[in-house]
Chain A
Amino acid sequence: MTEAKWSFKRLIELYDEILSHNHKTEIKRELRDEDDLFLLLCFSELLGIPNPVSYYTLELYPSILEKFHDWHLRMGMEKSPLEGIRCC
């Protein structure tokens, strides 16, 4: 540690650092776990691991359908290019 000049502000900072030390670690751990889960959900199929959430994300199908239809029209395709999605 570089020996900073002793001041009241520095003392308060040190005190805060001591007290929040543990808490910050746990928050970081929580965020890391969340991140790990997110990465797994996004990329598991790319890695050849069956994605456990696709069963639930199927529920999103109706809401994405219209957007998809607009998209393929915009792109100059009259019919849906994907077999799995049958908007028209």
Chain B
Amino acid sequence: MSSLLLAVVGISIFLLGYRYYAKFIAEKIYKIDSNFTTPAHKYKDGIDFVPTNRFVLWGHHYSSVAGAAPIVGPAIAVYWGWVPAVIWVLLGTVFAAGVHDFGALVLSVRNKGQSVGTIANKLIGHRAKILFLFIILILVLMVNAVFAWVIANLFVNFPASVLSIFIQIPLAIWIGYAVYKKSRSMLLPSIVALAFMYGAAVLASRFEFLQIDLVKWFGGEETTVMFGLNGVSMAFFVWIIVLMVYVYFASTLPVWKLLQPRDYINSHQLVLGLVILYLGVLFTNPTITAPAVNSGADISMWPLLFITIACGAISGFHGLVASGTSSKQLDKETDAKFVGYLGAVGEGMLALLAIIAVTTFFATGADFSAAYNSFAAASAGGLGNFIGGAGVLASGVGIPAYIASTIVAVIVISFAATSLDTSVRLMRYIISELGTEYKIPALTKAHVATSIAVGTSAMLVLLPEGPNGFGSGGYLLWPLFGTSNQLLAGITLLLVSIWLKKQGRNFMPTFIPMVFVLFMTVWAMGKQVIFDWSGAGTADTNILLFVFGALILGFALWIVAEAFKVLSQKQDPSDMDRIA
């Protein structure tokens, strides 16, 4: 199968979805109105509420939601063959993610630009707000653990990328100051910074002494370094501790000092990466060697596929961005279709690219099957295969593959690091909010909340044992990340459905995806908690995964109960005023 054909078909389906399905949703379901006064105009304050050009807003929205997750998920999920993964990405984006992101944006615009959490409080009640806070708490905890593992894993496997990542930090701080104190434009300095980073990546790929290879320094896999840890375990341990210390500072500094200038550099990387890799597909048109469907899978794709690819098919995190910032800046309500739906499409395109890179990487189907011989092997090695595959695609535009791999590793680590920063910061806010809610004033202190966030995340990522020992099993948490992300999407879709029902409209376009994601989550967690993690099945007990899985399952059932209760109520006319 030609990958170019797959890319063309995929992108065409996305665009048809936008042209027809999004139009239908906009006109018949959400009934968006270009004359509606959006919060950006009504509460204009020049800072949070600013009417913004839709192209600018889309770009900003997209770069906020795009990260490493739509790459990691598909790179693992091709284990079941590329066809199921592609179908889920395409249908998920068109019928679930697009409607979800677009819906979150419209719901928030119609509710004074408030966030999903506040709207949950208003539509369902205080209980829903607490549920919502706990779901986000568990999601960000999973993000912290998973992305800390992703970065540590890439540092271990691509030692040439380490230098560039550490160079980025002082460069970003310098840009932050230059812009803040001297109000310079960020464009030129950030391109210079990027040039430095890639320069370092090229040099480190060529000269081994520039590679920070902890595994080698600790004497490799065979040596015991200390506490009975071998070189690889020790490298994981050190990198995770370094990352946690870094993220403590990064998440307590003002955002303009480090986080945003880094985001700015990373946005260049996102654009550059997408352009180079899609051009690579166009020029080289590599053949997809991976099998279309894996008939010998050791674990069924039902329901695991649907939680393995969360971002890229549907992701609750988008609802947070849509209702948190984008909704406050929408110039016209009709722009919501462009920003929300196409934001989801952008994420879908990234996922599609990840699938292409991985499935074209191996010379033959047998090589692919050897690398993806079990779900555990797929989970541990998926991202490395993506980087290898992306390196080959980039060589299509004339970049040597070994340099391209380092640069792609730098790009993925940068994305993951931004996700990590943001989510530790988010976790700190949520811990503070829970502290206020339950009257524990100590939790509202920034450093107490950050210490708890960093401490629990570090414990969570270090606990699972993988094939390489201590700390290398972080990928086991990936399904938990997927399900908590789907739960968040489920609750947003529920809120949009309730809103539509109260307006007396057809709420099936949001209700059906909600049922689908919640059903898959309950199925996956129910199955894994009972048979894989509790010790009742053939596998050994895994307390950590059992506890978190059971928690997520409990939350999912809670949402189902709330949904059933609210949606089965007769319409109360007095509610109309509350929501309109």
A residues neighboring B (CB under 8 Å) = 1, 12, 14-23, 25-30, 32
Residues of chain A with a CB closer than 8 A to B64's CB: 22
Residues of chain A with a CB closer than 8 A to B370's CB: none
| Contact, CB under 8 Å: B186 / A20 | yes
| Contact, CB under 8 Å: B48 / A25 | yes
Known A1-B53, A17-B56, A30-B256; contact A25-B179, beta-carbon cutoff 8 A: no
| Contact, CB under 8 Å: B179 / A18 | no
| Contact, CB under 8 Å: A16 / B185 | yes
Q: Give B320 Cβ to nearest chain A Cβ, in Å.
A: 15
Name the CB-closest residue of A to B45. Answer: A32
Taken residue by residue from 55 to 78, chain B's Cβ proximity to chain A (1 for < 8 Å, 0 otherwise) reads as: 111111001100000000000000
Residues of chain B with a CB closer than 8 A to A29's CB: 47-48
| Contact, CB under 8 Å: A19 / B256 | no
Residues of chain B with a CB closer than 8 A to A17's CB: 53, 56
Taken residue by residue from 74 to 118, chain B's Cβ proximity to chain A (1 for < 8 Å, 0 otherwise) reads as: 000000000000000000000000000000000000000000000
Contact of B179 among A14, A23, A32 (CB under 8 A): A23
Residues of chain A with a CB closer than 8 A to B186's CB: 16, 19-20, 23
| Contact, CB under 8 Å: A18 / B48 | no
Name the CB-closest residue of A to B183. Answer: A27
In the assembled complex, the Cα of A81 lies from the Cα of B501 at a distance in Å of 74
Q: Which 8 residue pairs are nearest across A and B when measured between Cβ atoms?
A: A18-B59, A26-B256, A23-B260, A21-B60, A16-B187, A19-B267, A28-B47, A18-B56
Name the CB-closest residue of B to A28. Answer: B47
Residues of chain B with a CB closer than 8 A to A19's CB: 59, 63, 186-187, 190, 264, 267-268
| Contact, CB under 8 Å: A23 / B47 | no
Interface size class of B (residues with CB under 8 A): 20 to 34
Can you list 8 A-B contacts (CB < 8 A)?
A: A19-B264, A19-B268, A21-B52, A22-B64, A23-B263, A25-B50, A27-B180, A28-B47
How many pairs, one residue from A and one from B, have CB atoms within 8 Å of each other in the complex? 68
Residues of chain B with a CB closer than 8 A to A26's CB: 254-256, 260
Q: Give A22 Cβ to nearest chain B Cβ, in Å.
A: 6
| Contact, CB under 8 Å: A23 / B256 | yes
Q: Give A13 Cβ to nearest chain B Cβ, in Å.
A: 9
Name the CB-closest residue of A to B186. Answer: A20
Q: Give A24 Cβ to nearest chain B Cβ, in Å.
A: 9
Name the CB-closest residue of A to B54. Answer: A1
In the assembled complex, the Cα of A18 lies from the Cα of B55 at a distance in Å of 8
Say if the beta carbon of B261 comes within 8 Å of chain A: yes
In the assembled complex, the Cα of A85 lies from the Cα of B5 at a distance in Å of 85
In the assembled complex, the Cα of A1 lies from the Cα of B186 at a distance in Å of 23
Contact of A27 among B179, B185, B190 (CB under 8 A): B179
In the assembled complex, the Cα of A19 lies from the Cα of B60 at a distance in Å of 7
Q: Give B415 Cβ to nearest chain A Cβ, in Å.
A: 15
Say if the beta carbon of B398 comes within 8 Å of chain A: no
Residues of chain A with a CB closer than 8 A to B228's CB: none
In the assembled complex, the Cα of A15 lies from the Cα of B63 at a distance in Å of 12
Q: Give B261 Cβ to nearest chain A Cβ, in Å.
A: 7
| Contact, CB under 8 Å: B187 / A22 | no
Q: Give A15 Cβ to nearest chain B Cβ, in Å.
A: 8
Residues of chain A with a CB closer than 8 A to B256's CB: 23, 26-27, 30
In the assembled complex, the Cα of A28 lies from the Cα of B52 at a distance in Å of 15
Residues of chain B with a CB closer than 8 A to A14's CB: 55-56
